[in-house]
Amino acid sequence: MRHRVLRPPYCYRWAVLILTLVTVTTFAVAALRTSSAVGAPTAANPLGHATSTPARATPPPVAAEVVRHTDRPGRVVALTFDDGPDPVYTPRILDLLSEHDAVATFCMLGSEARRHPELVQQVLARGMRLCDHTVSHDQDLRTRSEQRITAEVMGGWTDLQIAAGRDVPVPYFRAPAGNWSERTSAVAARNGMRSLAWSVDSRDWTLPGTERIVAAVKEGVEPGAVVLLHDGGGQREQTVAALAELLPWLLAQGYELGFP
């Protein structure tokens, strides 16, 4: 009886087919395991959702010079309030501004924004602008390392975003106590914030009395002026009383309240 001999070409074909099946199966199992690992529930991701998130877009860089004037010419004055938000004084200042159809810029501390996010939202709802005044008001920030400066500047910016509950523009950065340096301005500028100073210091932070605060502003104000006031950082009854006098006076002098 003659036996049929399997010729070599058929052996090769079977070998190639088996190798192909093994390879495809191996890749399929590996892909399934990878997919399961990505979507698997963990302590940090209990629902098994994808854990990667898109990066937040960085605001476009701006010029690093220090701003001390309004954003447009004419009889325009910009009022700025530092060191808040404060639950006692910020709402009263907002009411006075709204009463006179005026706007202002609030230079907020990240630490205070975290404590009072509702006030950050109220400031925005009234049509005001935000300014990053760092996290902790370190008056020696200019002497710190660039890493520390970045942490304070961008930490304050982040605190404002979180307090607002949405992505909001923060067009300005104000150095604590006005202690500027090339590094602080450069860090702010790289992250889309202009360095905001002032041209009129009311010195309300020294608690000189309402009359002296009013006199300081009246003597220093001119078209394009940026006025420094405070809604936080201490007792601000004098500032609130001074603002109640200054707003109608500025409007009577033909000034419009605007932004830096």
82 is catalytic: yes
Both tokens of 165, joined, read 């509950």
**Are 227 and 256 within 8 A, CB to CB?**
no
Closest CA to 109 of 90, 88, 134: 134
Catalytic residue of the set 116, 133, 230, 231:
230
Catalytic residue of the set 82, 83, 86, 231:
82
Q: With the C-alpha atoms ordered 191, 193, 194, 196, is the resulting torsion angle positive or negative?
A: negative
**Are 243 and 95 within 8 A, CB to CB?**
no
In angstroms, the CA 86 to CA 8 distance is 89
230 is catalytic: yes
Which residues does 20 contact at the CB level (< 8 Å), separation at least 6?
Answer: none
Which residues does 248 contact at the CB level (< 8 Å), separation at least 6?
Answer: 100
Which residues does 41 contact at the CB level (< 8 Å), separation at least 6?
Answer: 47, 48
| Rg, Å, the chain Cα set | 30
As annotated, the active-site residues are 82, 230
